[in-house]
Amino acid sequence: MASVEFQNVTKSFGSFNAVSDISFKVADGEFICLLGPSGCGKTTSLRMIAGLETPSSGKIMIGPDDVTHLHPKDRQISMVFQDYALYPHMNLADNIAYPLKVRGESVEKRHKRAKEVADVLKIGDLLQRLPSQISGGQQQRTSLARALVYPSRVYLFDEPLSNLDAKLRLEARGFLNHLQRDMGMTAVYVTHDQAEAMALATRIAVMDRGRIVQFAPPIEIYRRPATTFVANFVGNPPMNMIPVEGIVESEQLQLRAHGVLVRNLPLSQGIKAALGKGAALTLGVRPEHLSMGTINDTNTLSGNLFANENMGPEKLVTFERQDGGRVTARIFTDDMVETTENVAFTFDGAHATLFDAEGKRIAADGERPL
């Protein structure tokens, strides 16, 4: 295993920058996820690590080596492709053993090793079949087996689970997590599914339009999203974002907007600085931090009931504030929601995340690392 480092890497296609001046370091044994919406440059970044794409500028290191211009075959890496890229004319045994074949291993040796890996992945009985004769889940595991069959410094994954149905995806996700704990592999995993990133990553790099917006452990991404973009992208459903006006009264912060009553938040240095630039702030509250309340509670959001969705153990209650902005709350099904027109939800002031006029999160005073 080895570390991976991007140093000011830019990749442009014509005049368009798919990846703009990215720098980050993946430590040896870390499992990092590149998370972001479609077209933000995740695949391009991953392909540059693999050597399938050459950076327009900047440097890429694997371990101590500068690999920026090294051919993929010389990088000692593994990659699982989104379409699995199984060779249609080879049976599973030959598919899995192919990396050993190019390394000049004997037929017996490589088939023995392929069988070992296939057994771990529970496809040991299918080795004589062609890729077209197995299911999607089995194809996925075959491509994983091919990536695991030889020693490799870094494992790259490009949305390897996106072609699986929901149940198989959960199963495969659990297996990948187990594998990571077992092998301690260095992995870079591309996904646009925030739940997958949360579940697998030791750190997540959230990308937007070719840049990394935040690179932090999942819990930090979740609790302290650096920008409104990250807050919007992470969580299911994502964080409620409400434009508010911030006012200082009796040395404390009050937030005002239609259907929003938030009083007496501590006035931190950050908030003072933000208010200096303008009173327009954004209040972020996660759906799971909202609970049923009354309009008279300290911190409330209220409006007209819009939707009431039953999800099994929980419920998603969406209401519309007077200005039309919608807020979603996630509550346990046991908490009865009266189907009255007007609903009010309350939350703990400590769970309020504030963003300044530019969409950057305002840190509280004396915040400690998570």
Partner 1 sequence: MRLSFGQLLARIGFSALAAIIGILFALPLIWFIFAPFNARAELGIAIPDPWTLQNFMTVFGNGFAMRGLLNSLIQSVGGVILVAAAATLAAYALSRSSIPGKSMITYILLLFSSVVSGTAAMVPIFLIVSSVGLMDTHIAVILVFAGGLLPTAMFILRDFIDGIPKTYEESAMVAGASPVQAFFDVALPVIRPGIVVVVVWAFVNIWGSFLIPFILLRSDDLMPSSVAIYSFYSEAGTPIVTLLAAYSLIYSLPVVALYLFVSWKFGFRFFGGIKA
Ligand X SMILES: Nc1ncnc2c1ncn2[C@@H]1O[C@H](COP(=O)(O)OP(=O)(O)OP(=O)(O)O)[C@@H](O)[C@H]1O
Residues that bind Mg ion (CB under 5 A): 43
Q: Which H/E stretch holds residue 321?
A: none
For partner 1, the closer of residues 17 and 264 by Cβ is 17
Q: Which stretch binds partner 1 (CB under 8 A): 72-80, 165-173, 212-220, 358-366?
A: 72-80
Q: In the beta sheet, which residues pair with residue 204?
A: 33, 216
Taking the complex as a whole, the smallest distance from the CB of residue 169 to partner 1 amounts, in Å, to 14
Taking the complex as a whole, the smallest distance from the CB of residue 81 to ligand X amounts, in Å, to 12
Taking the complex as a whole, the smallest distance from the CB of residue 64 to partner 1 amounts, in Å, to 20
Q: x/- binding map, residues 248-287, to partner 1, per CB under 8 A?
A: ----------------------------------------
Which residues fall within 8 angstroms of residue 110, CB to CB, at 6 or more apart? 97, 100, 101
For ligand X, the closer of residues 3 and 56 by Cβ is 56
For Mg ion, the closer of residues 43 and 152 by Cβ is 43
Residue facing ligand X at closest CB distance: 43
**What burial letters (b/e) apply to 288-326, b meaning 16+ CB within 10 Å?**
bbbebbeeebebbbbbebeeeeeeeebbbbbbebeeebe
Site for ligand X (CB under 6 A): which residue of 32, 35, 40, 241?
40
Q: Which H/E stretch holds residue 163?
A: none
78 binds, among ligand X, Mg ion, partner 1, none (CB under 5 to 8 A by kind): partner 1
Residue holding tokens 């346990």? 332
Q: Is 38 in the site for ligand X (CB under 6 A)?
A: yes
Residue type, 251: E
Q: How far apart are CA 251 and CA 239, in angstroms?
A: 28
Helix boundaries (H) for the chain: 42-50, 92-102, 107-120, 136-148, 166-183, 194-200, 218-223, 228-233, 269-277
Contacts (CB under 8 A) with partner 1, residues 160-199: 163
Taking the complex as a whole, the smallest distance from the CB of residue 330 to ligand X amounts, in Å, to 26
Which phi and psi (to 5°) does residue 343 adopt? -125, 155
Q: Is 235 in the site for ligand X (CB under 6 A)?
A: no
Q: Which stretch binds partner 1 (CB under 8 A): 110-118, 131-139, 216-224, 310-318?
A: 131-139
Which residues fall within 8 angstroms of residue 191, CB to CB, at 6 or more apart? 33, 34, 35, 42, 159, 161, 162, 197
Q: In the beta sheet, which residues pair with residue 284?
A: 241, 353
50 binds, among partner 1, ligand X, Mg ion, none (CB under 5 to 8 A by kind): partner 1
Q: Is 137 in the site for partner 1 (CB under 8 A)?
A: no
Site for ligand X (CB under 6 A): which residue of 33, 43, 172, 364?
43
DSSP letter for each residue of 18-78: EEEEEEEEEPTT-EEEEE-STTSSHHHHHHHHHTSS--SEEEEEETTEE-TT--GGGS-EE
Taking the complex as a whole, the smallest distance from the CB of residue 104 to partner 1 amounts, in Å, to 10
Question: In this structure, what token pair is assigned to residue 256?
Answer: 């005002």
Contacts (CB under 8 A) with partner 1, residues 86-115: 86-89, 98-99, 101-103
Q: Is 41 in the site for ligand X (CB under 6 A)?
A: yes
Binding site for partner 1 (CB under 8 A): 50-52, 71-73, 75, 77-79, 81, 83-89, 98-99, 101-103, 131-132, 136, 139, 143, 146, 150, 156, 163
Binding site for ligand X (CB under 6 A): 13, 18, 36, 38-44, 192
